[in-house]
């Protein structure tokens, strides 16, 4: 599987990353999926302390222990479980980030985290303090590199300007092209890469298409699209571009055609689903004409909140 350099780091990540949140808590089944991903050439595994109250990190760390030096483990911090685990609160304090990193290391059963990410971020955070926490963790050898997971352009801009982040995990898909206008040029200029999530738009851009639509989507549409618009666009995409390939392939290849994208992180709750995603990233890239067709068909509306102002 193709590997791309992540920002200015020396991490080379597989174009398909395994989003571990969907693995569940059945250790045997989850481990089988992780091991099958390794067989397919996936080397990038994304988890977080929030997933299943930290159980996800334990399962992923255990499954990857035999090949620890050959894989890239990414995890996140910033969402703090309340007592009783009934909910979580945002905590971007330096002390909590450093504490969270050490707890993640213990659960993962490793001495270092390859990519440690802030699991969100707001302009109200003490950003310099957050950066200090990451830099200290790096100097102390607990983490190799750090990034953020955010869809707020203003927050992304601040970290891009003031820190040494190598990546931004953000939602990006054919149906969510918001990053293209505002965020991508900034990241490209700074040598920072995107780790794309939500590439299949909650299944709408998979081969299941609208059969995956929730009641909320049927009533309110998806982002800038009404349900009727979705029906028309998805039908056209399938008819024009998915005759000799899957819709999943079209969707992943669109995102991977963007030079700012290092990896598409997708979940897999079964080996069959994993196989489909692997086949999609290894399929023929879209031509320039096909890419333009998608852009002409879909909306490039920017963000409505947290905009970067000149």
Query: Annotated catalytic sites, by residue?
Result: 51
CB-CB neighbours of 128 under 10 Å: 12
Instruction: Write phi, then psi, for 147 (nearest 5 degrees).
Output: -150, -175
Instruction: Write phi, then psi, for 90 (nearest 5 degrees).
Output: -80, 130
8 Å CB contact between 21 and 179 = no
Nearest by Cα to 295 from 181, 150, 156, 170: 181
Handedness of CA 191, 141, 136, 45 (dihedral sign): positive
What CA–CA distances, in Å, run from 109 to 17, 45, 58, 137?
A: 20, 15, 7, 17
Concatenated DSSP letters for 101-120? HHHHHHHHT-S-EEEEEES-
Residue linked to tokens 């050898």: 141
Instruction: Please give the Cα distance from 233 to 238 (Å, whole number).
Output: 9
8 Å CB contact between 247 and 209 = yes
Q: Residue 101: which region, alpha, beta or left (left: phi > 0; alpha: psi -120 to 50)?
A: alpha
DSSP three-state, residue 283: coil
Instruction: Please give the Cα distance from 111 to 214 (Å, whole number).
Output: 41
Q: What is the rounded radius of gyration, in angstroms, for the C-alpha atoms of the chain? A: 19
Handedness of CA 289, 171, 67, 276 (dihedral sign): negative
- Cα diameter, the chain: 54
């Amino acid at each position: 599987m193709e590997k791309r350099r992540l920002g200015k780091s020396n991490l080379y990540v597989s174009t398909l990353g395994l989003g571990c949140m969907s693995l569940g808590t059945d250790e045997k089944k989850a481990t089988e999926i992780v091991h099958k991903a390794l067989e397919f050439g996936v080397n990038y595994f994304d988890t977080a302390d929030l997933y299943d109250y930290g159980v996800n990190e334990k399962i992923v760390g255990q499954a990857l222990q035999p090949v620890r030096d050959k894989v890239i483990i990414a995890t996140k911090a910033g969402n703090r479980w309340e007592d009783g685990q009934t909910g979580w609160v945002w905590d971007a304090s330096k002390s909590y980030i450093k504490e969270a990193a050490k707890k993640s290391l213990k659960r993962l059963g490793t001495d270092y985290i390859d990519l440690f990410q802030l699991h969100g971020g707001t302009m109200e955070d003490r950003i310099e303090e957050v950066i200090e926490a990451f830099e200290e963790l790096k100097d102390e050898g607990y983490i190799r590199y750090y990034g953020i997971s955010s869809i707020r352009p203003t927050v992304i801009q601040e970290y891009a300007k003031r820190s040494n982040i190598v990546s931004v995990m953000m939602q990006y898909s054919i149906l969510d092209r918001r990053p293209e206008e505002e965020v991508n040029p900034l990241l490209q200029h700074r040598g920072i890469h995107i780790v794309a999530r939500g590439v299949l738009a909650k299944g709408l851009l998979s081969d299941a298409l609208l059969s995956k639509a929730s009641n909320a989507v049927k009533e309110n549409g998806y982002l800038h699209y009404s349900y009727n618009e979705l029906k028309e666009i998805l039908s056209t995409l399938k008819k024009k571009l998915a005759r000799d390939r899957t819709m999943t392939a079209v969707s992943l290849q669109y995102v991977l055609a963007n030079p700012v994208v290092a990896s598409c992180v997708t979940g897999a709750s079964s080996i069959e689903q994993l196989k489909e995603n692997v086949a999609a990233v290894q399929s023929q890239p879209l031509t320039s004409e096909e890419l333009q067709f998608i852009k002409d068909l879909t909306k490039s509306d920017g963000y409505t909140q947290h905009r970067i102002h000149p």
